[in-house]
């Protein structure tokens, strides 16, 4: 029988994403509701090692639901990858009488949590917070919807200038291993072509498609490229390739970069964060451990943490087809 959890620590770890604050707020308020104590740890696992704790009460999280970033700050901790680092973290948690940990982060942060649980039997629950949406066991991760909207808004603006000058724009969006942002933002912003890590469409096909749209009377075009596109060329090389083969186009590149991580979370992300935070606390207080809370068929559901790390979230093939049809 596991010991009853009375005090929960919450961290944000890895890359930050919009909605992390809303999730912290939800965890803190749910703890207050169920009369459990809650402490925040600054800078993720590194703060656990350096004993950087802060008591959080329901009033500590006023006015943060709309804020981007994370009030607890985030970090990538090298020390937590070592046995000594994790031992220190465990000792500090014990000293604070913490008996459960909620980790808001991506698969790396969850891996750290699983390792920690295996070594110390420490209860861990994960909340998926990453703009890439690349975590198995949830249709949406925190921050993904906001990042998508940011990308679409930016591409809309680029389209205005592209169409004024007959230009072809290559717009790079985030997603080293996953094309969710590229595919959805591309369809949402009406891109001519979308290049993602999951699919290699071939450079010839891209040229053909651009030539076809030129012949059909389009004077400007947008190609959305995920950072980790499979063509093997980076966005500048792709632009050069098209410019060499289609001199009639003036080609420009725009890399959206870190702006996609920031900003006030969308309503969807705030609601998702609120739902996941409550569920994480309820599961923790019920004695559940080593799960990630996520959204499945619009219902909050738990997935084994190791499955969430190892499983592959797959790209929506119907959306790929829609995108093809839209470029007619
Ligand atoms: P993002 O998706 O934004 O990259 P992430 O959570 O995947 O977020 P990582 O940098 O991969 O980000 O992981 C966050 C932290 O988790 C690491 O800095 C490290 O402290 C911890 N961590 C990751 N993998 C391990 C591991 N194998 N053992 C111990 N700790 C780990």
Q: pLDDT tens across 273-298, in order?
A: 999 999 999 999 999 999 999 999 99
**Segments of the chain assigned to CATH 3.40.50.450:** 7-143+265-310
Check whether 1 has a pLDDT greater than 70: no
pLDDT of residue 166: 78
pLDDT of residue 11: 98
**Marked catalytic residue, from 132, 134, 145, 229:** 132
pLDDT band at 258 (very low <50, low <70, confident <90, very high): very high
pLDDT of residue 173: 96
pLDDT in tens, 191-227: 988 988 888 777 888 888 888 888 887 777 899 999 9
pLDDT of residue 175: 87
Check whether 71 has a pLDDT greater than 90: yes
Check whether 308 has a pLDDT greater than 60: yes
Domain 7-143+265-310 classification at class level: alpha beta
- Summarize the confidence of residues 102-131 as an average pLDDT: 97
The structure's pTM equals 0.95
- Summarize the confidence of residues 21-29 as an average pLDDT: 98
Ligand 1, atom 12, lies closest to the CA of 14
Three-state SS for the chain is CCCCCCEEEEEECCCCCCCHHHHHHHHHHHHHHCCCEEEEECCHHHHHHCCCEEECCHHHHCCCCCCCCCCCCCCCCCHHHCHHHHHHHHHHHHHCCCCEEEEEECHHHHHHHHHHHHHHCCCEEEEEECCCCCCCCCCCCECHHHHHHHHHHHHHHHHHHHHHCCEEEEEEECCCCCCHHHHHHHHHCCCCEEECCCCCCCHHHHHHHHHHHHHCCCCCEEEEEECCCCCCCCHHHHHHHHHHHCCCCEEEEEECHHHHHCCCCCHHHHHHHHHHHHHHHHHHHCCCCCEEEEEECCEEEEEEHHHHHHCCCCCCHHHHHHHHHHCC
Q: Who has greater pLDDT, 248 or 29?
A: 29
- Summarize the confidence of residues 110-126 as an average pLDDT: 98
Of the ranges 36-45, 71-80, 207-216, which one carries the lowest mean pLDDT score? 207-216
If you measure from the C-alpha of residue 79 to the centroid of ligand 1, how many angstroms do you get, rounded to a whole number?
Answer: 11
Cβ–ligand 1 contact at 130 (below 6 Å): yes
pLDDT of residue 210: 86
If you measure from the C-alpha of residue 46 to the centroid of ligand 1, how many angstroms do you get, rounded to a whole number?
Answer: 11
Q: Residue 46 and residue 76: Cα distance in Å, rounded?
A: 8
Ligand 1, atom 3, lies closest to the CA of 15
Question: Domain 145-261 adopts which CATH fold?
Answer: Rossmann fold (3.40.50)
Radius of gyration in angstroms for the set of CA atoms belonging to the chain, rounded to a whole number:
22
Check whether 10 has a pLDDT greater than 60: yes
Q: Residue 120 and residue 103: Cα distance in Å, rounded?
A: 16
If you measure from the C-alpha of residue 23 to the centroid of ligand 1, how many angstroms do you get, rounded to a whole number?
Answer: 19
Ligand 1, atom 19, lies closest to the CA of 77
Q: What is the mean pLDDT of the chain?
A: 93
Cβ–ligand 1 contact at 263 (below 6 Å): no
- Summarize the confidence of residues 179-198 as an average pLDDT: 92
pLDDT band at 2 (very low <50, low <70, confident <90, very high): low
**Segments of the chain assigned to CATH 3.40.50.460:** 145-261
Q: Who has greater pLDDT, 199 or 307?
A: 307
Question: Backbone dihedral region of 290: left (phi > 0), alpha (psi from -120 to 50 degrees) or beta?
Answer: left
Q: Known catalytic residue: 99?
A: no
């Amino acid at each position: 029988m596991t010991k009853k959890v009375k005090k929960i620590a919450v961290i944000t770890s890895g890359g930050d994403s919009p909605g992390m604050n809303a999730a912290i707020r939800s965890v803190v308020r749910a703890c207050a509701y169920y009369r459990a104590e809650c402490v925040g740890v600054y800078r993720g696992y590194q703060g656990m090692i350096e004993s950087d704790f802060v008591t959080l009460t329901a009033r500590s999280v006023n006015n943060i639901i709309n804020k981007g970033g994370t009030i607890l700050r985030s970090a990538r901790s090298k020390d937590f990858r070592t046995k000594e680092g994790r031992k220190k973290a465990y000792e500090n948690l014990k000293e604070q009488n913490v008996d459960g940990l909620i980790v808001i982060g991506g698969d790396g942060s969850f891996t750290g949590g699983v390792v920690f649980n295996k070594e110390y039997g420490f209860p861990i629950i994960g909340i998926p917070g990453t703009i890439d949406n690349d975590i198995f066991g949830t249709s949406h991760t925190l921050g993904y919807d906001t990042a998508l909207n940011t990308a679409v808004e930016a591409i809309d603006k680029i389209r205005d200038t592209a169409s004024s000058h007959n230009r072809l724009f290559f717009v790079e969006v985030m997603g080293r291993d996953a094309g969710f942002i590229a595919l959805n933002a591309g369809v949402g912003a009406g891109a001519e072509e979308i290049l993602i890590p999951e699919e290699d469409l071939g450079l010839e096909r891209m040229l053909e498609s651009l030539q076809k749209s030129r012949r059909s009377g389009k004077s400007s075009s947008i190609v959305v490229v995920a950072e980790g596109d499979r063509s093997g060329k980076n966005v500048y090389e792709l632009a050069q390739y098209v410019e060499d083969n289609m001199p009639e186009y003036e080609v420009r590149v725009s890399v959206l970069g870190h702006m996609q991580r920031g900003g006030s979370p969308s309503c969807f992300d705030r609601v998702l964060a609120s739902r996941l935070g409550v569920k994480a606390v309820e599961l923790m207080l019920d004695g559940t451990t080593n799960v990630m809370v996520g959204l499945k068929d619009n219902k909050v559901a738990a997935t084994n943490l190791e499955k969430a790390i190892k499983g592959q979230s797959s790209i929506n093939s119907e959306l790929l087809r829609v995108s093809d049809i839209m470029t007619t």
